[in-house]
Chains A and B, each alone.
Chain A
Amino acid sequence: MGDVLYEVQGVARFFQRGTVTVRALDGVDLVLEAGESVALEGPSGSGKTTLLQLLGALDRPSEGHVLFEGRDLARLPDRELAELRLQTFGFVFQHFNLIPTLTALDNVVAGLAPQGVDDDEARSRALAVLEEVGLVDRASHLPAHLSGGEQQRVAIARALVKEPRVILADEPTGNLDSQTGADVIGLLSALATRHGVTVVVATHDMSLAGHARRRLAMRDGRILTQAETPEPQAQPVA
């Protein structure tokens, strides 16, 4: 398919909860190639979110290595991790995580502003992406005035506007009804294909996982099975 993007080697992540040590990830090995579409499926607490956070340089592993294009993320300083998050990774969260006081347009611009892009250009690029997700006419609305699906589309636009190489989506349909969830996941897949972006989606919805070419089933912090879907199901862009 493409070049190796991620090499996850024996990664474990422990959390201390009082006197109890919770093993959120426990010996995960994984290789992801550029342009892949991957679904992490499993129930709550299986370690999907933790693995996504390690892939997205939001966290550091307790053991093992997460290599991104050969660079060990655990050894990079905070500034370089921030740079990776800014330039290379795009995040979509279950709760959308939009800035409540900013309009849809400015929420998208917020993903671009730290790159030092001129404000006019940033707004122009943000509007273009909002158009791609079908929300250009809602650009001046605050998140509170948007539906759940619309908010998630704004979040997808925010992730895409920086033209990332990887999009990491954590339960992107978890707060949406099934139809809206299907629309959102279809949109995400179509855009990822169009922009040539590697997509890793964590979900407990087996039907949505079917949109990914590769499905990794997780339980108790481990990857149990891997499966390939011959033809990724791309939905037309809304």
Chain B
Amino acid sequence: MFYLRYVRSELLRRRSRTIVTVLGLALGVALVVVIGSLTRGLDKAQAAALNPLSSIGTDLTVTLSPTQDTSGGFGPGGGFGGSGRELLQANSSVITDLSKLGKPGAKFVHDFFLPGTQLTFPQSQVKQIAALDGVGAASGGLMLTAVHQEGTVPKIVAKIRAGGQQIQVNRRLQPPTAAEFAQMRACLAKSGIQFGQSGSGAGGGGGFRAGGGQGGGLGRAPGGDRSAFAKCLPARLRRLRATITTPEQTLRQVVDPPQTNITSTTYSIGGVDLAHPAIGVVTPALVVRGHYLTREGQALLAASYASREKLKVGSTLDLNGTDFTVVGLVRPPLGGQTADVYVPLGQLQTLASQKGAVNVALVRADSGTSVSAVRQEIKNAFPNADVASAQQVADRISGSLVDAANLSHRLGVALAALAALTAFLIAVLLTLSSVGKRVRELGTLKAIGWTQRLVVRQVVGESLFQGLVGGVLGVVIGVVAAAVIGAVGPTLTASSSTGGGNGFFGLGQLTARTVTDQIALTAPVAATVVVLAFLLAVVGGLIAGAAGGLRAARLRPADALRQVE
């Protein structure tokens, strides 16, 4: 009892020192709890957002990106091998004129579908992939960028006839050399034409005018044999006689489209192979409301898109005259093949005039260990294909979530350790400082018969109590702070872009598909973190007390008394 009264008296009567120590410990513990909780929250957010492929049952995605090599073939067979030219061709519909949509002045609503930067390839090649060794399942998908346009058909459509021009080339040429001149003379002589000495007319000095015929230089009478002359001209002079005619073509071009009230909105649309629901650009597991696609005429919407466009389950979408009923909302993973709208693959192929074509193959390996082997196998079979693993897809994701996650990974543990160390140091320093001021008191205790063990126990008891109070207070502060963070829910963004970065022929912006997800950060408090932080404060108090107490108690009583006298 006496010892407890002593502890209580010490803590209560040295109140300011006790409060500072307890608050220091509490702050450290609270920081550990908050940082631990934030790290956990980020891990959870990451698990959801940065693990895009596993959530769609896929180990690898196979796409065909255009290359800069314009010689690459994309023949009728549709082999893997893209090119910028083909990309331009594939996306050309959006730069054709709008006059096809109706008479000038008529209202129109139209959706243009573009394959973006992922070139299409025949669906049959997905089957070839599925047949490769180690491949468990494969399905195709068609991921398109859609431009929804509404407005009035522009009135001014210019027809420009181009080509048909004749181009005459005039160049100052070197006069014939002596040898060429001799050769010409000999040639003309054979034809019975005398090529005289310097003539009397214009063009003296041995020169002559091609195609002219008249003028000096020819020894025979004016009006000589032109064909003979042409034949005898040196080859390099003969070539210049050709006249270049450019091919004729008619260009129809919208002139200044914004004069009409056309509005364009861009969204992404994915064609889902209904035959493979377990592996696809969207899977039943990602449905957050409603149900998965079961037949044609149904559509799934990304929850964020639905919210933005004020659409819900039961809404109807009209895509160029084809109605789709929204049957579910999904939360698509980032970084993978994501879209705002998902419709059955066959219908999208029809709408986009891409019959039998897909632009992504989703591949699941037989086992997790064979993923790299399968990847290599696909690359061997289709050298130009872009085969991305889950990690590569995850690496494409950027945004504040990734920054925060990176920060958390790099600094989370360090910050928590720093906070813990700070709290620990506060406890140690304050205890040592306190003990340092109590040397006389502790020396007196030894002088009146207290053993070293009793003195240390007394100081440790005080520190332990401070550790307990600081730990409890810190846990309370930490949990409340974590709850506040959870309630405020700061949002982090995670974005994934596919294509568009190099902006082929100005299409970059149009064809790029960037999916951004807003993820509310939570700070779920883990019991282990709380216990760890609490123990840290208590153990910190114990160690600090033991160190300080031992330091004082090991002094001889006479030395302890002498230090202050």
A residues touching B (Cβ–Cβ < 8 Å)? Answer: 53, 56, 58-60, 78-79, 82-83, 85-87, 89-91, 93-95, 97, 99-102, 106, 109-111, 113-115, 119, 122, 142, 158-159, 162
Task: Tell me whether A93 and B561 are in contact (CB under 8 A).
Answer: yes
Among the listed B14, B441, B449, which residue makes an inter-chain contact with A83, where contact means beta carbons less than 8 Å apart? B449
Give every chain A residue within 8 A of B558 (Cβ-Cβ): 53, 58-59
User: Is B5 engaged at the interface, CB distance under 8 Å to the other chain?
Assistant: yes
For residue A50, which residue of chain B has the nearest CB?
A: B558
A-B contact pairs, 23 of them (CB 8 A): A53-B558, A58-B446, A58-B447, A58-B561, A78-B451, A79-B451, A82-B452, A85-B557, A86-B448, A87-B449, A89-B449, A90-B448, A93-B447, A97-B441, A97-B561, A101-B13, A101-B14, A106-B2, A111-B449, A113-B2, A114-B450, A119-B2, A142-B13
Contacts A101-B14, A119-B2; A110 near B445 (Cβ below 8 A)? yes
For residue A86, which residue of chain B has the nearest CB?
A: B449
Task: Tell me whether A95 and B565 are in contact (CB under 8 A).
Answer: yes
B199 nearest CB across to chain A (Å): 126
Task: Tell me whether B449 and A97 are in contact (CB under 8 A).
Answer: no
What 4 pairs across the A-B complex have the smallest Cβ distances? Answer: A86-B449, A59-B558, A119-B1, A97-B444
User: Is B454 engaged at the interface, CB distance under 8 Å to the other chain?
Assistant: yes
Give every chain A residue within 8 A of B444 (Cβ-Cβ): 93, 97, 99
In chain B, positions 399-435 with a C-beta closer than 8 Å to chain A are none
Q: How far is the CA of A58 from the CA of B563 in the complex (A)?
A: 14
Give every chain B residue within 8 A of A97 (Cβ-Cβ): 440-441, 444, 447, 561
B residues touching A (Cβ–Cβ < 8 Å)? Answer: 1-3, 5-6, 9-10, 12-14, 440-441, 444-452, 454, 556-559, 561, 565
A86 nearest CB across to chain B (Å): 3
Task: Tell me whether A114 and B451 are in contact (CB under 8 A).
Answer: yes
Among the listed A94, A106, A158, which residue makes an inter-chain contact with B448, where contact means beta carbons less than 8 Å apart? A158
Give every chain A residue within 8 A of B13 (Cβ-Cβ): 100-101, 142
Give every chain B residue within 8 A of A89 (Cβ-Cβ): 449
Task: Tell me whether A85 and B9 are in contact (CB under 8 A).
Answer: no
Task: Tell me whether A85 and B446 are in contact (CB under 8 A).
Answer: yes
Task: Tell me whether B9 and A101 are in contact (CB under 8 A).
Answer: yes
Contacts A93-B444, A101-B14; A114 near B449 (Cβ below 8 A)? yes
Task: Tell me whether B451 and A102 are in contact (CB under 8 A).
Answer: no
A143 nearest CB across to chain B (Å): 11
Q: A99-B444, A101-B14 are in contact. List 14 more A-B contacts (CB 8 A).
A: A53-B557, A78-B451, A79-B451, A85-B449, A86-B448, A95-B565, A97-B441, A99-B6, A99-B445, A106-B2, A106-B6, A115-B449, A159-B448, A162-B449
Task: Tell me whether A82 and B450 are in contact (CB under 8 A).
Answer: yes
